[in-house]
Amino acid sequence: MEDVSQKVVPARLLLVDDEPNVLSALSRMLRHEGYELHTAGDGQAALAILEREPIDLVLSDALMPGMDGVELLSRVQQQWPECLRLLLTGQCDLSATIRAINEGRIYGYLAKPWDDERLCLTLRQALQHQQAEREQKRLEALTQDQNRELAELNATLEQRVEARTQELQQTADMLEVAYRELRESYVTATRVFSSLISQRLPTRFQTNAKVGILVQAFAEELGLDEAQQHDLQLAAALYNLGKLAWNDRLIVTPAEQLSVQQRESYRRYPATGESLLMALEHMEGAAKLIRHHREHWNGSGFPDHLQGEAIPYGARLLGLAVDFIELQRGMILPRQVPRPQALELLRKFSGRIYDPVLCRAFITLCLDKAPDLENHGRPVLALETSQLKPGMILAQDIHSISGILLLHEGKQFDAHLIDKLMRLEEVEDRRYTLLVYREEEADE
């Protein structure tokens, strides 16, 4: 007899678009992903489905007659807050995206025409994030129930109390693991969003991943606590969010060659980045670092002209990493500065732009740890996909040709994942070289 309790319930998706061909294309693509699919041609039809069906995720077009996508997702957030919300937009509309973030508190957005692989990856990661939150709530409820049982047993059953205490400790450990996984899911989701931002920038100016690697290595070297490292990772992934509003000419102009008018726009981008994240409570620490990463030690920076130790420590570190990478990419001076000269420029402006103590430590790290910085100095192996084995752990993020994050550092390979990578190589007609931790490192 079949064990119904072990049956896996497929995720239930609602696709909303006023164009039948778009709904048909999405349904055809997602049919093989194992989802239970529902479709609606407008906002009212979507709400009717939500009234009678338990839906896990709504993917809605932004521009629809009558009720647009932002209004629909806002109403979904109010009535079904646990239902994930994604926006599908056919044009670069920053104001609509900001409204969707603030009013609908969306998980993310995707542009038309979409990339099938990226859309499927975003949906999978969104649903994994949702499952982690549900599991955390389930474990919290379980802990509360067990606490009540413990209170009832405490008066008469000392031995059972001891046994139950051990069970509670195990539950607490599970909660800690779930909490860590939830925090990691925030980082992963932020990296995915960061890779979407990168699509607005030329390939040479897609610096977020490099900056993230650098600040993480330095934070570990300094022994910063977990909360500080978490905020730094998120800030590094989104520090240039405010550049989304720039035109193409401003994006490709080095900072030292900006006109007076362009410089005004340039000086606003840290504050703009912070304002775009205000609605997300868990991003508050990272948003503060983004706002102040262009402040200078001598008070000549922006947007608030903070001076010395009034500048948040993480913002000082982020500013060093951003300048170090952007100097080498030709984003500050009208030429790409080689790595040694970039370090020399940091040293030259120590005490004026940069915290002198932090700058000295930063330069020492870059000199001593290179070229192993990108894997944090831990021994790694460079392998082709065909050489991967189940159980190996990824030592560096993998991005697609277009810059989309495919897998994040720390992901453990299994046979299914290896097979998917090999099929992706065939589709993209390229071969990935992957960094994985050596076996003795993975076993620690």
Question: Model confidence over 315-347: pLDDT tens digits?
Answer: 999 999 999 999 988 999 988 887 778 889 999
Distance CA 136, CA 75 (A): 25
What pLDDT score does 104 carry?
A: 54
Two structure tokens written together for 234: 């998120």
Most confident of 125-139, 344-358, 418-432: 344-358
Two structure tokens written together for 317: 């570190």
Q: Look up tokens 């909303």; give the residue.
A: 16
Nearest to 375 by CA among 439, 437, 444: 437
Two structure tokens written together for 268: 């606003």
Q: Number of C-alpha atoms within 13 angstroms, CB side, residue 69?
A: 31
Q: Look up tokens 């389930």; give the residue.
A: 138
What pLDDT score does 377 carry?
A: 47
Q: What is the mean pLDDT of residues 256-276?
A: 92
Distance CA 84, CA 105 (A): 9
| CA-derived radius of gyration, the chain | 24
Q: DSSP secondary structure string, 224-251?
A: --HHHHHHHHHHHHHTTGGGGGS-HHHH
Reported as a single tens digit per residue, the pLDDT across 219-243 is: 888 889 988 998 998 899 889 888 8
What pLDDT score does 256 carry?
A: 92
pLDDT tier at 131 (50, 70, 90 boundaries)? Answer: confident
Distance CA 234, CA 152 (A): 44
Q: What is the mean pLDDT of residues 383-403?
A: 81
Q: What is the mean pLDDT of residues 362-388?
A: 66
Least confident stretch, 112-126, 139-153, 199-213, 396-410 = 396-410
Least confident stretch, 214-218, 407-411, 430-434 = 430-434
What pLDDT score does 6 carry?
A: 47
Q: At 331, phi and psi to the nearest 5?
A: -95, -10
Distance CA 307, CA 231 (A): 21
Reported as a single tens digit per residue, the pLDDT across 95-109 is: 666 665 656 577 777
Reported as a single tens digit per residue, the pLDDT across 53-99 is: 999 999 998 888 889 888 998 899 899 988 988 888 876 565 666 66
What pLDDT score does 217 carry?
A: 85
Q: Look up tokens 């060093």; give the residue.
A: 320
pTM value?
A: 0.47
- Indicate the helix (H) or strand (E) that contains 205: none
What pLDDT score does 442 carry?
A: 40
Q: In this structure, are residues 85 and 77 in contact, taking their beta carbons and an 8 Å threshold?
A: yes
- Indicate the helix (H) or strand (E) that contains 424: helix 415-428
Distance CA 412, CA 180 (A): 16
Is residue 441 scored above 70 in pLDDT? no
* Residues of the chain above pLDDT 90, percent: 35
Least confident stretch, 23-27, 155-159, 298-302, 436-440 = 155-159
Distance CA 39, CA 24 (A): 9
Q: What is the mean pLDDT of residues 383-390?
A: 88
